[in-house]
A and B are shown apart, each in its own frame.
Chain A
Amino acid sequence: MRRKKACAGSTTVAVSLAIFLVIFTAITLYTFFAKTWWFPDPITTFGRDIDQQFLRTLVITGIVFVLSQLGLAWVIFRYRGRGQRAQHIEGNLTMEVVWTLATLVLFVGLGVYAERAWAEVHFRSAVPGAVQIEVTGQQFVWNFRYPGPDGKFGRLDPKLVNASGGNPLGLDPTDPAGKDDLVVPVVAVPVNREVELLIRSQDVTHSFFVRELRLKQDAVPGLLIRIHFSATQTGQYEIPCAELCGLGHYRMRSFLTVMPQADYDKWLADQAAANQ
């Protein structure tokens, strides 16, 4: 009988596949519960909001994930061919409506909930008096410019750019506002104070990324993009480039140091002195 033959060995396959799905689901759950690989601790308030939202999303997707994978394992095991005749079911409108509405509320609701952290980063501008730092990406270094005691950035002229000659940003020496500008390859900020970054690029698209800030922003040629944050933990954090920018992309890196206000003031003064 052909029908018999079609069912032969189906129990072994069904059981193996079901068991594999269960094990796979268990391992996935374990890695998330055990936090085997996890985020570095956030050092901003919206960073903590984002982590909260990640956990909310993890719980909801986790439930759907477990139900779907185990559901699949169950139907594979339960309805393996054993010579029975399949039931003739063409669908169920009520169920369609229920799971459509349920997922709509769940997923879109989750999306609406996430907007708060996003709004905190992007919908308001930096508070007055925030520390302003200009960030410039170029193949394959970051340059950071502080406006100096006058609080004003000097004019830049692309025609004057000469990295090997010590003027990587093209500062215009005729502009008095630029006299006290400080250009450094690493960035320091005071702790618990709002910092506004003015992000730009001189050649191709780069991306400013600090894991602990939970912040990433492309540096786009032709655009000046403002983001702001307030770091609550002192320490040194890496700034890897996060947008493919050429062959040196992997080694385009700088450091962000968050320090107490007094140390920050001293650092600024030291850098300015070294720059003279």
Chain B
Amino acid sequence: MVTHESGAVHAHAAPTGFIWKYIFSTDHKIIGIQYILLALVSAFVGMFLSVLMRIHLVWPNAKLPFIAGGVMTPEQYLALLTMHGSIMVFMVLTTAPQSGFGNYFLPIQIGAADMAFPVINMLSFWITFLSLLVMLAAFFVVGGAPISGWTAYPPLSALGEIAGPGQGAGQTLWVIGVAIFCGASLMGALNFITTTIDLRTKGMSLMRMPLTVWAWFLTAILGLLAFGVLLAACILLLLDRTAMTSFFIPGGLVITDQQVAHKGGSTLLWQHLFWFFGHPEVYIAILPGMGVTSHMLSTFARKPVFGYRAMVYAMCSIGFLGFCVWGHHMFVSGMSPYSALAFSLLTMSIGVPSAIKTFNWLGTLWGGQIRFTTAMLFALGFVSLFVSGGLSGLFLAQPAIDLYFHDTYFVVGHFHLIMGVAAIFGMFSALFFWFPKMFGRHLNEPLGKLHFWITFIGVYAIFMPMHYLGMAGHPRRYSDLSGANFLGPLMPVQRFISIAAFLTIAVQFIFLINFLWSLKFGKKAEKNPWEATTLEWTIPSPPPHDNFAGVEPVIYRAAYEYAQPGAVEDYVPQHLAPEQVARAR
């Protein structure tokens, strides 16, 4: 149990004036919303880039808006690809689940008035915003955005303009942008960890925390360990680019008949550093979604989470194993084939905690009384996507099979399902669930359901066929299918994927309209519209500046006490004293 001198709930006055209240706010709730809006804008930018790519891929001669010259060149395609990946991974999948929803609800769910370091929290957001601007600036410099993919493998990313258009100023801005982002994420991670450890209210023991809090807590630990490594890697790459160092550039290179003066570096060093960050990054994106899904399934099946402890241990082991498997991205990189053995078996064993989570989710639904809200539909969609996207990982984890699938569309389909779409479904679920608390109004449910259905069918229609392309050997990051004869017959599949993508992306505007319309005209929300048990539902919607109005809540029980035998209501909130619980006679 945590005790407090000044207390987790130290009442502090709300700031006055628009700028301090909404722009440079230190209130975790405002900062959470800022992160969510940043992610929302970034997601639409990222989707727009993918629309342009998908058009070019299947209609190579189409005239496109925003493309210099009208018809897309190979380097423009690769620039869009690089920026799509970078924006989606860093600015959407890392910000919304963790910094967005985590910021808003972690303090409230543990009964705190704010984050442990409110000013650092504000700085984290604005530094993230700065990194987005720096990254986007790459589009507007000479040579355009970088073309080396979000993984930025050197020497392509290290040699400068000579390696291709976009590899000059654009790539430099990209490296600086990512480095800045790492700084912001490290500060955020420290804040989340400290807050969870120090600011839990009376009675909020670790095993009473909602699984969302566990997920955000573990994600913060992953972020703390992973982003430091990426930051170091970015600094080394920046030095290679600007200060003639040779961390990643070996000697004796000749590019377009020109000698490269660097010598002594190792290109594999970047891959090791990058994937030591890159693999945990997958879990940084998906763990919050797992927490949210557990939260939704329990709330809307009106049942306790099945195997709560197993769920916690499974998330811990996913987090731990996540740091031991980066080599599975490098089976064909020239790394020692013996280490591939170890990386492979460790990767296969991540399937175990993942399976535990899936079975426990099914167990949570079993015997429930399921309410199909939009939030619940997205959570159920998450489970289905997690299974589909996770199982294809078992192919890629085996080096012999990965020999064939590495860098094909099989990989693209796999990681989009599990890291992209599943994580996004977690966030849609979170938004439909918590929107009433955040803004005092509900999102429109019929519109939400329509959005869910088309999105759910759409994402499967986009990403499942990519596995078949991979089986046919279709390499990824090809701007044109004319480069190899065996790609021609695959064009119908690519067309199908493009059309599915256009429809799915169009439907996201239904969501956008719903979001904007509901802010003003949505159905007014009560304090606890979902009849849920955790602390955020004990305070007004939207919550006051210091969350609990200076009163420290006391926790009496675990997070998911639904369907308690003997209780009149089918849910018993965490904060209700035992004598207040109405008993059925």
Which residues from chain A sit less than 8 Å from chain B, CB to CB? 6-7, 9-10, 13-14, 16-17, 20-21, 24, 28, 31, 36-40, 46, 49-50, 53-54, 57, 60-61, 64-65, 68-69, 71-72, 75-76, 79-92, 95-96, 99-100, 103-104, 107-108, 110-112, 114-118, 121-123, 138-139, 158-159, 161-164, 170, 202-205, 207, 209, 211, 214-218, 220-223, 225, 238, 240-253
Contact = CB atoms under 8 A, between A and B. Distances in A.
A204 B163 contact: yes
Interface in B541-576: 562-565, 570
Contacts of B449: 13
A64 B309 contact: no
Contacts of B365: 72, 75-76, 79
Contacts of A65: 387-388, 391
Given A91-B309, A202-B253, 10 more contacts: A13-B449, A87-B368, A103-B356, A108-B348, A118-B398, A139-B164, A211-B404, A221-B155, A243-B407, A249-B78
B367 A87 contact: yes
A34 to B, nearest CB: 11
B464 A28 contact: yes
Given A91-B363, A111-B344, A250 B355 contact: no
28 contacts: A9-B372, A13-B372, A17-B380, A65-B388, A72-B365, A79-B301, A81-B369, A85-B563, A87-B367, A88-B304, A91-B308, A91-B310, A111-B344, A111-B347, A115-B400, A118-B398, A121-B403, A138-B255, A139-B255, A161-B257, A204-B163, A207-B332, A211-B486, A215-B403, A238-B485, A244-B78, A249-B479, A253-B484
Contact of B468 (A36, A117, A164): A36
Contacts of A14: 370, 372
Contact of A158 (B252, B266, B345, B395): B252
B473 A211 contact: yes
Interface stretch (B13-21, B45-53, B96-104, B334-342): B334-342
Contact of A76 (B250, B369, B380): B380
A75 B352 contact: no
B259 interface: yes
Contacts of A139: 163-164, 255-256
A101 B250 CA distance: 46
Contacts of A72: 362, 365, 380, 383-384, 387
A107 B351 contact: yes
Contacts of A99: 355-356, 359
A7 B371 contact: yes
Contacts, number: 345
A37 B74 contact: no
Interface string B455-474: 01100100010001101110
A86 B565 CA distance: 10
A253 B483 contact: yes
Contacts of A123: 337-338
A46 B191 CA distance: 51
Interface in B229-272: 249-257, 259-260, 265-268
B340 A118 contact: yes
Contacts of A245: 156
Nearest to B307: A91
Contacts of B368: 75, 79, 86-87
B303 A53 contact: no
A266 to B, nearest CB: 25
Given A111-B344, A202-B253, A209-B475, A57 B395 contact: yes
Contacts of B517: none
Nearest to A88: B563
The 9 closest A-B pairs by CB, nearest first: A222-B250, A122-B337, A37-B468, A111-B348, A87-B367, A91-B307, A117-B400, A114-B398, A211-B473
Given A40-B473, A104-B352, A242-B407, A86 B367 contact: yes
B147 interface: yes
A20 B372 CA distance: 15
B532 interface: no
Contacts of A122: 337, 340
A41 to B, nearest CB: 12
Most buried by B among A17, A83, A220, A221: A221
A61 B308 contact: no
Contacts of A204: 153-156, 159, 163, 255
B75 interface: yes
B362 A71 contact: yes
Nearest to A10: B372
A6 B371 contact: yes
